[in-house]
A and B are shown apart, each in its own frame.
Chain A
Amino acid sequence: DQQVKQNSPSLSVQEGRISILNCDYTNSMFDYFLWYKKYPAEGPTFLISISSIKDKNEDGRFTVFLNKSAKHLSLHIVPSQPGDSAVYFCAASPPGGSQGNLIFGKGTKLSVKP
């Protein structure tokens, strides 16, 4: 029973265009969400996060949007660059945060074509 779902295994976009990666979750009590980027044979790299009390967080080319009523979040990358090609994981923090664990989706592989 997946609590965090990334329904698109892959996404291909042209360099300079917008990349939109989507993530759905089932537990309305999740209070913090994170996006990680992962290159092959490396560990995940933290990208951006958002608290459940906000609906948007922006950091340079990366913006995360949270729609609590739909239990949906998305990561926008504008403009996309070839170096953004990687697997992107959405993760959620259980309520209260005291458990310490993050719950990850299965990832979306982004390919940015020059």
Chain B
Amino acid sequence: NAGVMQNPRHLVRRRGQEARLRCSPMKGHSHVYWYRQLPEEGLKFMVYLQKENIIDESGMPKERFSAEFPKEGPSILRIQQVVRGDSAAYFCASSTRTGGYEQYFGPGTRLTVT
């Protein structure tokens, strides 16, 4: 009964480095969503993907951030040239159908930029 898996759980990067966050959805789920949570804030939507397609990236910063969900393998959220403001918890969720219905979250990756 594997849930949504994310790795790494903790990631420390220096300013200017790249961060790669991975997410494996629940078995049978083909929809993946990425959210970011800043301290004392709620989760903010970033991007919604299906296999090989970006469906909605309206929450993604215009620069340095990208996401993919290839035919094989996990979904990747990539942050280039990280800055201190990127420090946050990044959560991945998956679901079986389109829309904002029940989404199941992974444990998150806590990114710290030093």
Interface range for A: 20 to 34
In Å, the complex CA distance between A92 and B103 comes to 12
* Minimal beta-carbon separation of B35 from chain A (angstroms): 8
In Å, the complex CA distance between A94 and B98 comes to 12
In Å, the complex CA distance between A14 and B64 comes to 47
Which residue of chain B lies nearest to A6 when distances are taken between CB atoms in the complex?
B42
Which residue of chain A lies nearest to B106 when distances are taken between CB atoms in the complex?
A43
Interface range for B: 20 to 34
Chain A residues with Cβ below 8 Å from B44 are 104
> Are B42 and A34 closer than 8 Å at their CB atoms?
no
Chain A residues with Cβ below 8 Å from B31 are 100
> Are A99 and B48 closer than 8 Å at their CB atoms?
yes
Q: Name B4-50 residues within 8 Å CB distance of A.
A: 4, 6, 31, 33, 35, 40-45, 48
Q: Is the interface of A mostly helix, strand, loop or mixed?
A: loop
Chain A residues with Cβ below 8 Å from B6 are 43
> Are B105 and A102 closer than 8 Å at their CB atoms?
no
Chain A residues with Cβ below 8 Å from B35 are 102, 104
> Are A97 and B100 closer than 8 Å at their CB atoms?
yes
> Are B100 and A93 closer than 8 Å at their CB atoms?
yes
Chain B residues with Cβ below 8 Å from A100 are 31, 33, 48, 55-56, 98-100
> Are B100 and A106 closer than 8 Å at their CB atoms?
no
Chain B residues with Cβ below 8 Å from A4 are 42
> Are A46 and B108 closer than 8 Å at their CB atoms?
no
5 closest Cβ pairs, A-B complex: A97-B99, A93-B100, A100-B48, A101-B45, A43-B105
B residues whose Cβ falls under 8 Å from a Cβ of A = 4, 6, 31, 33, 35, 40-45, 48, 55-56, 58-59, 91, 93, 98-108, 110
A residues whose Cβ falls under 8 Å from a Cβ of B = 4, 6, 32, 34, 36, 41-46, 49, 89, 91-94, 96-107
